Amino acid sequence: DPIQMVDVFRRPEYLPEIAEAAIAKGARVLWCQLGVVNLEAARRARAAGMTVVMDRCPAIEYGRLF
């Protein structure tokens, strides 16, 4: 099955490598948890057509939205 979302809990310096792997796998979303921000990795992922969310927690956002 295709990968829908890659949820990153690693430190920001690891994000470029993770973003490249997510791009290679064809993931649709790169979600970076609280405190995980790397603008270059985000730029690369967006250029590859991915949706990028940084410095947010899916559980908090889900509770806030629903």
**46 pLDDT exceeds 90?**
yes
**What is the model's pTM?**
0.90
Task: Report the alpha-carbon distance of residue 33 to residue 26 in Å, rounded.
Answer: 20
For residues 5-43, one letter each, b for 16 or more C-beta atoms within 10 angstroms of the residue's C-beta and e for the rest, the string is ebebeeebeebeebbeebbeeebebbbbbeebebeebbe
**Angle CA(21)–CA(53)–CA(32) in degrees, nearest 5?**
60
Average pLDDT over residues 38-51: 98
Task: Report the alpha-carbon distance of residue 13 to residue 1 in Å, rounded.
Answer: 29
Average pLDDT over residues 24-47: 98
**3 pLDDT exceeds 90?**
yes
